[in-house]
């Protein structure tokens, strides 16, 4: 009987009714709860549709960069790494010579060789980035400081450059996972043949005009030190659980 009286009082008092709704969320009118659920479902459905359309566009067109915003600026070839976009040394030389000035070509060349190789001769304007930690710093740049195009290479563009390029793309996808297919760096290339192939025919674009191989006998101690440090860093990351499993990327 007391419970009936309390409910009667609450119905007659708007203030008590509002307090009751705050104290007991399950008393929110059913129709309002239903509206909230429907809105959440609609948002999720829209996200699914957006992602599906982006995936279809990437799958249907080999010419769109990885965020679907526009075609690739530079002509590409079928290189050694089928999942990456490769350009020839001649294309890079043409880029230097203003061949693509009709496009907005704010680019950065990422030299993934070790410091002693880089200091022994590098492509003009290239920056030396050879660790994953440096790639993380690159991803932290503000929007105004991000170049439109990144071109990766190592000595032969066989292992080091492709590895860091894939790492950048995986991290980029993860950081923008809520806004797929948005990316900080949607247009990235690998230089086919690496520094060696470029140097063979374009020494006038190298500074200094020389070439130090990774396995040069004068730098054995430097190579051993770098490999030891890199291996140690990798082991520490695994021990601390920093290695993260990235979701599968449909296309770079």
Instruction: Give the CATH number of the domain where residue 130 resides.
Output: 3.40.250.10
Residue 154 falls in the annotated catalytic set: yes
Shared domain for 7 and 88, answered yes or no, is no
Q: What is the spatial distance between Cα 234 and Cα 238, in angstroms, rounded to a whole number?
A: 6
- Please give the average per-residue pLDDT across 52-66, as a whole number: 64
104 vs 20, more confident: 104
Last residue of a domain, one of 20, 41, 58: 58
- Please give the average per-residue pLDDT across 199-205, as a whole number: 97
Confidence of residue 24 (pLDDT cuts 50, 70, 90): very low
Shared domain for 134 and 110, answered yes or no, is yes
Shared domain for 172 and 47, answered yes or no, is no
Q: What is the spatial distance between Cα 204 and Cα 98, in angstroms, rounded to a whole number?
A: 16
- Please give the average per-residue pLDDT across 109-137, as a whole number: 97
- State how far Cα 175 lies from the chain centre: 8
Q: State the total domains in the chain.
A: 2
Q: Is residue 249 part of a domain?
A: no
- Please give the average per-residue pLDDT across 182-197, as a whole number: 98
pLDDT value at residue 228: 94
User: Of the listed 4, 68, 112, 154, which one is catalytic?
Assistant: 154
Q: Is the model's pLDDT at 59 over the cut of 60?
A: no
The b-or-e profile of 44-61 (16+ CB within 10 A means b, else e) is eeeeeeeeeebeeebeee
Tell me the residue range of the domain where 33 lies: 2-58
Average pLDDT, the chain: 82
Q: Is the model's pLDDT at 28 over the cut of 80?
A: no
Q: Is the model's pLDDT at 232 over the cut of 70?
A: yes
Shared domain for 231 and 198, answered yes or no, is yes
Q: Is residue 247 part of a domain?
A: no
């Amino acid at each position: 009987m007391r419970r009936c009286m309390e409910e009667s009082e609450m119905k007659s008092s708007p203030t008590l009714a509002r307090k009751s709704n705050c104290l007991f969320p399950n008393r929110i009118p059913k129709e309002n709860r239903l509206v909230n659920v429907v809105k959440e479902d609609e948002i999720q459905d829209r996200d699914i549709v957006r992602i599906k359309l982006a995936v279809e566009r990437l799958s249907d067109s080999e010419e769109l960069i990885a965020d679907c915003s526009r075609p690739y600026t530079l002509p590409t070839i079928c290189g050694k790494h089928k999942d990456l976009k490769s350009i020839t040394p001649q294309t890079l030389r043409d880029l230097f010579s203003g061949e693509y000035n009709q496009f907005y070509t704010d680019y950065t060349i990422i030299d993934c060789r070790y410091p002693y190789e880089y200091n022994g001769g590098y492509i003009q304007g290239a920056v030396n980035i050879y660790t994953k930690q440096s790639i993380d710093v690159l991803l932290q740049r503000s929007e105004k400081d991000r170049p439109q195009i990144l071109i990766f290479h190592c000595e032969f563009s066989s292992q080091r450059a492709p590895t860091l390029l894939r790492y950048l793309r995986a991290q980029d996808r993860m950081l923008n996972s809520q806004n797929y297919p948005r990316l900080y760096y949607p247009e990235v290339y690998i230089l086919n043949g690496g520094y060696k192939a470029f140097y063979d025919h374009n020494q006038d674009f190298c500074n200094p005009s020389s070439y130090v191989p990774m396995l040069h006998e004068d730098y054995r101690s430097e190579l051993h030190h770098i490999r030891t440090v890199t291996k140690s860093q990798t082991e520490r990351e695994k021990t601390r659980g920093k290695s993260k499993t990235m979701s599968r990327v449909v296309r770079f």
